[in-house]
């Protein structure tokens, strides 16, 4: 059985004290949602330690939004996978479209970041997704396949076993436009086929999350599709009630 996952990507939002309050509110409401749902919160680096403390005992797991491509040394401003792991993080988001678009992250960089994450025992949440132009040109499947082949295909089967994939169409991120459940299912199913071509039956165990304006009103519909195993949530992860309500989108 694949894990059902609801992961919150807080991006560059909240001050540490606000993040702690948000985490406490999510932890306080956790028991409203089926235990079968695996919640992850990914705050900014500055909040990892206090948010980890705020989540203690809740079963909610911590993730980071990125990590350095190098292990340590003279890389001003970078945060290493080891530093992140030392705060209690278990996951790290890699290859988010905002990192690819604004910070020029390429497959070569992402391969190095993946290696660092695995070396420190962090499970990557690897993001893929096409932009509007690519979708309109009918190239979305090809774009996503390339993003998987150039990074995920290099993993060993052992590494692949802990990988989570997030499909996030760039045109749906923060825009209020959501992919329809049919569009999500089509591409999630395709992603699973691409994974199976390299990793065989293990592809059935890989959780593939949908991201892009996922909210309480559309989560249940999206999560009802067989290959949609949860969501990577941006805006709606900043309100505890909305984040928890998205978790309720899984039928018990």
232 binds ligand PGA (CB under 6 A): yes
Q: Which residue among 4, 5, 6, 9 contacts ligand PGA (CB under 6 A)? A: 9
What is the C-alpha separation between 60 and 53, in angstroms, rounded?
A: 11
Comparing every residue's Cβ against ligand PGA, the nearest one is 234
The one catalytic residue among 98, 140, 168, 188 = 168
- 168 tagged catalytic: yes
Residue 144 near residue 191 (C-beta atoms within 8 A): yes
Q: Which residue among 150, 216, 235, 248 contacts ligand PGA (CB under 6 A)? A: 235
Q: Which residue among 68, 214, 245, 246 contacts ligand PGA (CB under 6 A)? A: 214
Binding to ligand PGA (CB under 6 A): which residues in 93-112?
none
Q: Strands 230-233 and 61-64: what pairing? A: unpaired
- For every residue of 175-214, DSSP letters joined together read TS----HHHHHHHHHHHHHHHHHHHGGGGGG--EEEESS-
Place of tokens 């039928």: 251
**Nearest distance in Å: CB 241, ligand PGA:** 15
- 47 tagged catalytic: no
Rounded to whole angstroms, the maximal C-alpha distance in the chain is: 49
DSSP structural state of residue 73: S
Per-residue binding string, ligand PGA, 147-186, x by CB under 6 A, is ---------------------x----xx------------
Distances (CA, A) of 226 to 94, 207, 230, 248: 24, 11, 10, 17
Residues 17, 18, 19, 23: is their CA dihedral positive or negative? positive
- Angle value at C-alpha 230, between 249 and 142, nearest 5 degrees: 135
**Nearest distance in Å: CB 97, ligand PGA:** 7
The one catalytic residue among 96, 105, 120, 134 = 96
- Beta carbons within 8 Å of 119's beta carbon, 6+ residues apart: 71, 81
213 binds ligand PGA (CB under 6 A): yes
Per-residue binding string, ligand PGA, 33-72, x by CB under 6 A, is ----------------------------------------
Closer to ligand PGA by CB, 199 or 250: give it: 250
How many residues touch ligand PGA (CB under 6 A)? 13
Catalytic residues: 96, 168
Interface residues with ligand PGA (CB under 6 A) are: 9, 168, 173-174, 211-214, 232-236
């Amino acid at each position: 059985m694949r894990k059902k996952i609801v992961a919150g990507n807080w991006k560059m939002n909240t001050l540490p004290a606000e993040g702690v309050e948000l985490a406490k509110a999510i932890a306080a409401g956790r028991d409203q949602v089926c235990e079968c749902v695996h919640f992850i919160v990914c705050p900014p680096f500055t909040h990892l330690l206090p948010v980890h403390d705020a989540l203690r005992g809740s079963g909610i797991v911590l993730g980071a939004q990125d990590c350095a491509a190098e292990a340590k040394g003279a890389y001003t401003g970078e945060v290493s996978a080891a530093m992140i792991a030392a705060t209690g993080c278990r996951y790290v988001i890699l290859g988010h479209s905002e990192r690819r678009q604004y910070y020029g992250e390429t497959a070569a960089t992402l391969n190095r970041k993946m290696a660092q994450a695995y070396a420190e025992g962090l499970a990557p949440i690897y993001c893929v997704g096409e932009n509007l132009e690519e979708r309109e040109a009918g190239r979305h499947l090809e774009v996503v396949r390339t993003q998987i082949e150039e990074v995920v295909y290099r993993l060993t089967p052992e590494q692949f076993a802990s990988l989570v994939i997030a499909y996030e169409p760039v045109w749906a991120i923060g825009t209020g436009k959501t992919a329809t459940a049919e569009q999500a299912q089509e591409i999630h199913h395709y992603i699973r086929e691409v994974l199976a071509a390299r990793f065989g039956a293990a592809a059935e165990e890989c959780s593939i999350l949908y991201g892009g304006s996922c909210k309480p009103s559309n989560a249940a519909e999206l999560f009802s599709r067989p290959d949609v195993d949860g969501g990577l949530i941006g805006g709606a992860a900043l309100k505890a009630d909305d984040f928890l309500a998205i978790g309720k989108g899984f039928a018990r």
